[in-house]
């Protein structure tokens, strides 16, 4: 198993499942079966940095809830209507701004091995006959599991065989080595989170460089995969305008606008309790000290005039290179949309409908 962990714990309830046996066979790190997850949490909480420790331990267990869930948006901001395919939690990369540091208590790499239940639930979604955008990158990175898991081998062909749903694999990695094998039928979108080299270097530990991400995107474009990009979080700092503009220019020098299904923009926002975690774990980070106010969702957000001023520029720079590409905001209100885009999502049928239409145009989706 090629995966950067130091120990594997196995939930007794799934110890005999085929996926568990496959993943632990030939493991080069210790494997321990436990019957109470509290024992694992106790180990983590007794370390100097439970978050860091949790990134080095893999827990194979069962997803006891639904595999497919709605994106946890709020009623105060325009939500994209995304559906989450819950394959695992947490990530072995280490971004200062990552909400997962405070979302799970304590955080630990979990991979769900009750695969047949997941596939059955996914098939039920396909049979609903409506356009759906489904992704695995909400509670984890979509491709960190590739070195040892066969998750894309099972998901990509299944999405390719239907016509009402698209799978988005969102990542900061370049783990694309398996993707050339599949007849994807343009029903899988490869998506990268992008940021300036400065932010990648200072705030995104153990991730790939901007150049590596865009090179991987170019390779996937050559394989016929539709692409997406997410500038989220956008971090405001002295000199950021020139640097984000350069990222956009570099992006469109690497891939064609015609291959891009959508680009999202979202400025840095965080729950208040994340600040102390960043201060402790990333003592040199400056990102918690911007001009923030409390938003309607109780998250700390940049002062709205600052967000809007920067969004206008980002939209302009993208439009100069890609006039027709769909740009959308992640969790912003109608005022932001109207004053920076010139319209509100409701005027175009709502944000989910906007994204559905783009998926239909680029991926060949259709209703039953």
Average pLDDT over residues 277-282: 94
Amino acid 1: pLDDT: 47
Average pLDDT over residues 128-146: 94
At residue 207, does pLDDT exceed 50?
yes
Amino acid 4: pLDDT: 87
Residue 299 and residue 293 in contact, taking contact as beta carbons nearer than 8 Å: no
CATH 3.80.30.30 fits 64-89+114-363, yes or no: yes
Confidence class for position 26, pLDDT limits 50, 70, 90: confident
| Per-chain mean pLDDT for the chain | 94
Residue 327 and residue 315 in contact, taking contact as beta carbons nearer than 8 Å: yes
Amino acid 14: pLDDT: 97
Residue where the block lists tokens 């009750």: 114
Amino acid 165: pLDDT: 97
Average pLDDT over residues 289-300: 92
Amino acid 217: pLDDT: 98
Average pLDDT over residues 92-101: 94
Amino acid 106: pLDDT: 67
Confidence class for position 104, pLDDT limits 50, 70, 90: low
Phi, psi (degrees; rounded to nearest 5) at 277: -70, -45
Residue 189 and residue 225 in contact, taking contact as beta carbons nearer than 8 Å: yes
Amino acid 208: pLDDT: 97
Q: What is the pTM of this model?
A: 0.96
CA angle 310, 312, 316 (to 5 degrees): 120
Convert 46-78 to b/e letters by CB count within 10 Å (16 or more is b). eeeebbebbbbbbbbbebeeebeeeeebeeebb
341-350 tens-digit pLDDT? 999 999 999 9
């Amino acid at each position: 198993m090629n995966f950067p962990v130091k120990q594997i714990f196995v939930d007794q309830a799934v110890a005999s499942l085929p996926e568990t046996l496959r993943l632990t066979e030939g493991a080069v790190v210790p494997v321990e079966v436990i019957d109470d997850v509290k024992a694992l949490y106790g180990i983590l909480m007794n370390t100097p940095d439970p978050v860091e420790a949790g990134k080095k331990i893999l827990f194979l267990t069962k997803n006891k809830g639904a595999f497919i869930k709605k994106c946890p948006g709020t009623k105060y901001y325009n939500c994209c209507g995304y559906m989450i395919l819950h394959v695992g939690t947490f990530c072995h990369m280490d971004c200062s701004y990552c909400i997962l540091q405070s979302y799970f208590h304590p955080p630990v790499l979990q991979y769900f091995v009750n695969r047949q239940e997941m596939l059955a639930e996914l098939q039920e979604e396909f049979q609903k006959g409506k356009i759906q955008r489904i992704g695995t990158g909400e509670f984890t990175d979509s491709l960190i599991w590739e070195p040892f898991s066969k998750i894309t081998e099972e998901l990509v062909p299944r999405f390719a065989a239907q016509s009402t749903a698209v799978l988005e694999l969102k990542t900061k990695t370049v783990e694309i080595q398996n993707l050339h094998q599949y007849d994807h039928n343009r029903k899988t979108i490869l998506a990268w989170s992008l940021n300036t080299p400065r932010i990648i270097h200072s705030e995104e530990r153990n991730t790939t460089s901007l150049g590596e991400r865009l090179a991987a995107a170019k390779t996937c474009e050559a394989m016929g995969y539709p692409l997406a990009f997410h500038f989220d979080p956008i971090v405001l700092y002295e000199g950021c305008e020139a640097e984000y503009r350069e990222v956009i220019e570099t992006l469109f020098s690497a891939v064609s606008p015609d291959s891009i299904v959508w680009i999202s923009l979202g400025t840095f926002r965080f729950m208040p309790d994340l600040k102390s975690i960043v201060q402790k774990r990333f003592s040199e980070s400056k990102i918690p000290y911007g001009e923030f106010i409390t938003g309607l969702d109780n998250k700390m957000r940049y002062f709205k005039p600052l967000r809007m001023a920067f969004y206008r520029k980002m939209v302009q720079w993208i439009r100069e290179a890609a006039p027709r590409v769909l740009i959308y905001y992640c969790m912003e209100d109608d005022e932001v949309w109207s004053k920076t885009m010139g319209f509100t999502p409701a005027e175009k049928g709502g944000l989910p409908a906007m994204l559905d239409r783009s998926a239909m145009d680029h991926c060949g989706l259709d209703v039953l």
